Amino acid sequence: MSTKQRMISPADFETLAGVPDVAKPSAVWLWLNLDPLGRGRFDTRAISSAMYPTLDLTPDEVDEHLVLLAEAGFLTTFLAPDPDTRETVEWLLLLHPLKVDLRGTTIRTPEPPGAFHGRSMAMGGGGRARVRERARGSARERARAGVRAEDAARAAAWDAVQEDREPAPERPERPAVLDAPPMFCDEHMPRGAGTKKCGPCRDRRLLRDEWMQRRVYEDRLTEFYELNDDPEEVWDDTVF
């Protein structure tokens, strides 16, 4: 960016008549900050950073303003080697640069093609197309980023819905048989007496059967109470 002192005349402001109002501050900034011949690298990030805090514009907004300025005939672009790297890059060229005293000034930007010389020429079709293509590419990237963000938000919302729908895992009930009395007497545990008759084993089995029946009845009665809100009378064991 150039630090050469410049003055904007009323005639210069007349060239902004066809520029959309939203892009006029950017046009003035380019007048004052490109080199005295109105040339500079087409680097929206660098321009956005250099504009701050005079103009707080994002690189995408800079792209949009450059498109408007190109369509208004305020600037064009051209391809030429970078003086430092010799790599072919894109350059901005103001079609109506300010009048500046060039004495003692070193110009480091490359010369545009011959067709671009002259202050009163119209906007070149190739430059306009390149500016539009860059803006279109920037808009496409923003659109893709927006789609990715929406997809991520929808996926997160769906995951939250699925978590609400899926029941939380419940601890399994302990089987009643694990708490039942043993089936055999201490002498014949755990396999039993086989074909031999054993009175204690018989007593244990009867006790176990009674315990299991009582547990089954208790479970069924629990289900009954859960399904019926009306309290039932307490069992009266009075002998009839």
Q: Are residues 89 and 28 in the same domain?
A: yes
Residue 64 included in any domain: yes
Q: Are residues 50 and 131 in the same domain?
A: yes
pTM above 0.85, yes or no: no
Q: Are residues 197 and 122 in the same domain?
A: no
Residue 2 included in any domain: no
The tokens describing 133, both together, are 């293509």
The tokens describing 97, both together, are 């640069």
The residues pairing with 41 across neighbouring beta strands, listed in sequence order, are 91
Over 90: is that where the pLDDT of 131 sits? no
Nearest by Cα to 38 from 71, 78, 72, 65: 78
Q: What is the mean pLDDT of residues 131-160?
A: 78
Q: Please write the tens of the pLDDT for every residue from 202-227.
A: 888 899 889 889 988 888 888 888 88
- pLDDT confidence of residue 36: 93
Q: Is there a contact between 88 and 36 (Cβ–Cβ < 8 Å)? A: no
Helix axes of 59-71 and 44-51: crossing angle, nearest 10 degrees: 100
Residue given tokens 């074909």 in the structure block? 195
**Secondary structure (H, E, C), the chain:** CCCCCCCCCHHHHHCCCCCCHHHHHHHHHHHHHCCCCCEEECCHHHHHHHHCCCCCCCHHHHHHHHHHHHHCCCEEEEEEECCCCCCEEEEEEECCCCCCCCCCCCCCCCCCCHHHCCCCCCCCHHHHHHHHHHHHHHHHHHHHHHHHHHHHHHHHHHHHHHHHHCCCCCCCCCCHHHHCCCCCCCCCCCCCCCCCCCHHHHHHHHHHHHHHHHHHHHHHHHHHHHHCCCCCCCCCCCCC
Looking at the structure of the chain, the number of domains it has is 2
Torsion 29-35-38-41 (CA) sign: negative
CATH number of the domain that residue 50 is part of: 1.10.10
Indicate the DSSP class of residue 174: P
Domain that holds residue 69: 10-100+108-145
Q: Please write the tens of the pLDDT for every residue from 35-66.
A: 999 999 999 999 999 998 889 899 989 999 99
Q: Are residues 139 and 187 in the same domain?
A: no
Q: What is the mean pLDDT of residues 12-27?
A: 94
Over 60: is that where the pLDDT of 120 sits? no
The tokens describing 69, both together, are 């300025």
**pLDDT band at residue 234 under the 50/70/90 scheme:** low
Q: Are residues 94 and 198 in the same domain?
A: no
Residue 132 included in any domain: yes
Q: Are residues 128 and 33 in the same domain?
A: yes
- pLDDT confidence of residue 101: 86
Residue 162 included in any domain: no
Q: Are residues 87 and 191 in the same domain?
A: no
